[in-house]
Amino acid sequence: MTAASTAPRTSSAAGRDLARQVIVLVSSVLAIVAAFIGSGVVVGTPIQDAAGGYLGADSTLIAPGSGAFRIWSAIYVGMLGYAIWQSLPAQRDDERQRRLGWWVVASLVLNAVWIASVQLDLLALSLPIIVVLLVVLCRLFVILRRSAPKHRIEAVLADGSIGLYLGWVVVATAANTAAVLVAAGFDGFGLDPEVWAVLVLAVAAAVGIALAVWGGGRIAPALSLSWGLVWVGVARLTDEPASTTTGIAALIAAAAVLVVTAIARIRHDRGSRAA
């Protein structure tokens, strides 16, 4: 094949890479704007008061305390930092960024759509949306796990930001599920609500532990997931609906995720040095 015949193909690939970079950057900015508007700061209703208040800190036993949502600031700053970094010319033909890019866009769009569904009081619709968001973030985690960052900046901006995003959405999905079930009048098949709460917390912890073991002790998902679990514990021990059992279970779940992550990290680092 001649150089002339390969030129259009190369130009086309470069154009696709540039388009990906721009769309990731634009979607990140739009996601932050949508979150700012959708949070009720400017217009609309605060998330905790929208959709009948079922996503509020006092709505279900799995709802995190209101302070937990401060983590969104770190997530949005991290994702914006990643979007800016990946848009630099040096990352244009980077294979790792090619694999991540469109999945990142999907996650940001889904987050904005979730906010819109809550603001429109479509609580039932918000659940499948956040489940799909969780699946997308899991896919991003798989991509990150299969390829190593080139340097510390990429490790923080890509692996760190996406990891924080994933860990928090695990907790948010559990809380969203509980909110939808309570709104639908689910009676728990006769089981005490605290039993269901402990089971859901155990599942969230199991996901965090699985991410830690398979991911070689990646810190970011464990930090955000544990942050959410701790705030569930704080809410149940200090606010309504009060539940000492649920509060203690949430704190134990958070501790389990952190301990297993630390152990997995130590083993991973030892294995890397040995190799």
Query: Which tens digits make up the pLDDT trace of 261-275?
Result: 999 999 988 877 776
Q: What is the mean pLDDT of the chain?
A: 91
Per-residue confidence band for 41, with pLDDT thresholds at 50, 70 and 90: low
* Full 3-state SS string of the chain: CCHHHHHHHHHHHHHHHHHHHHHHHHHHHHHHHHHHHHCCCCCCCCCCCCHHHCCCCCCCCCCCCHHHHHHHHHHHHHHHHHHHHHCCHHHCCCHHHHHHHHHHHHHHHHHHHHHHHHHCCCHHHHHHHHHHHHHHHHHHHHHHHHCCCCCHHHHHHHHHHHHHHHHHHHHHHHHHHHHHHHHCCCCHHHCCHHHHHHHHHHHHHHHHHHHHHHCCCCHHHHHHHHHHHHHHHHHHHHCCCCCHHHHHHHHHHHHHHHHHHHHHHHHHHHHHHHC
For residue 38, pLDDT over 90 is answered with no
pLDDT at 43: 63
For residue 112, pLDDT over 80 is answered with yes
For residue 46, pLDDT over 50 is answered with yes
For residue 247, pLDDT over 90 is answered with yes
* Pick from 164, 16, 31: nearest CA to 106: 31
Q: Distance (Å, rounded) from C-alpha 23 to C-alpha 204? A: 32
pLDDT digits (tens, 9 = 90+) for 1-32: 444 444 455 778 888 999 999 999 999 999 99
**Percent of the chain clearing pLDDT 70 (strictly above):** 94
The residue ranking higher by pLDDT, 117 or 4, is 117
pLDDT digits (tens, 9 = 90+) for 163-172: 999 999 999 9
**Percent of the chain clearing pLDDT 90 (strictly above):** 74
pLDDT digits (tens, 9 = 90+) for 63-95: 999 899 899 999 999 999 999 999 999 999 999
User: Quick check: 88 and 10 in contact, CB under 8 A?
Assistant: no
pLDDT digits (tens, 9 = 90+) for 190-246: 889 999 999 999 999 999 999 999 999 999 999 999 999 999 999 999 999 999 999
For residue 42, pLDDT over 70 is answered with no
pLDDT at 18: 94
